[in-house]
Amino acid sequence: MPAIFDIIKKRRSIRKYSTRKVSKKILNEILEAARWAPSAHNAQPWRFIVLSKTEEKKVLADAMSEARVKDLIKNQMPPEHAMEIAKRSTERFEKAPTVIVACITMAEVPKHTDEDKKNVERDLAIQSLGAAIQNMLLAAYSRGLGGCWFCAPAFCRVEVREVLGLPEEFEPQALITLGYAAEKPDAPPRKPLQAILGSCSRNESSRRME
């Protein structure tokens, strides 16, 4: 198995897949990796819906596409352009061997009466889901698969929930496509380490005073 830093650096977002199916064994290993992600309060607020059947993927893709077109047109995008963008997304989701819809649930998250604290708990649940998704993507790459993380469901939660028949407590947040890669994209540029390191203004002030 490749070293963890090799996996992190070599993983890519794959949008084109071969027709080869993902075995249930490997899929379960990927979901198991998600299960072991850290979460705030150990609430494990993630819920995953796995779609492998062509018709299931098509129904979901069509519902999200329709919602996307309406939203883009509402934001003054020409209809033909909006439909072209939505069409590309639909094809990506339909052609991926496996699609996983990632949701959060607040059912087992600590309850608060204060509205600000409620919002913080929701933020923490979303952060926790992000950790689980990253585990999935790294596990997929380590097993020779490609994957891609899409945020499309977050823009049409009602439609996704309805078309999949999800419980009201499930809040769709993301979609992950999985399969054997049919492309080899180059690594996108990364900011240098110094560019992502912040400085503490208090420390800067102290140095100036000295």
Interhelix angle 54-74/157-164, rounded to 10 degrees, is 160
The reported pLDDT for the residue numbered 200 is: 77
Helices 24-35 and 115-142 meet at what angle, rounded to 10? 140
pTM for the whole structure: 0.91
Note the pLDDT of residue 96: 97
Any idea what the CATH number is for the domain that residue 126 is in? 3.40.109.10
pLDDT score at 129: 98
Token representation of residue 135: 């585990």
Kindly state whether residue 165 falls inside one of the protein's structural domains.
yes
Q: Give strand pairing partners of 102.
A: 48, 174
Residue 198 domain-assigned (yes or no): no
Q: How confident is the model at residue 113 (pLDDT cuts 50, 70, 90)?
A: very high
Q: Which of 101, 105, 100 is nearest to 46 (CA)?
A: 105
207 occurs within a structural domain:
no
103 confidence band (pLDDT: 50, 70, 90): very high
Beta-strand runs (E) in the chain: 46-51, 98-104, 146-150, 171-179
Is 161 a member of any domain? Answer: yes
- pLDDT classification of 204: cutoffs 50, 70, 90: low
What would the pLDDT profile of 124-159 be if each residue is shown by its tens digit? 999 999 999 999 999 999 999 999 999 999 999 999
Q: In the chain, how many domains are there?
A: 1
- Give the structural domain span for 75: 4-185
- Any domain includes 126: yes
- Is 205 a member of any domain? no
**205 pLDDT higher than 60:** no
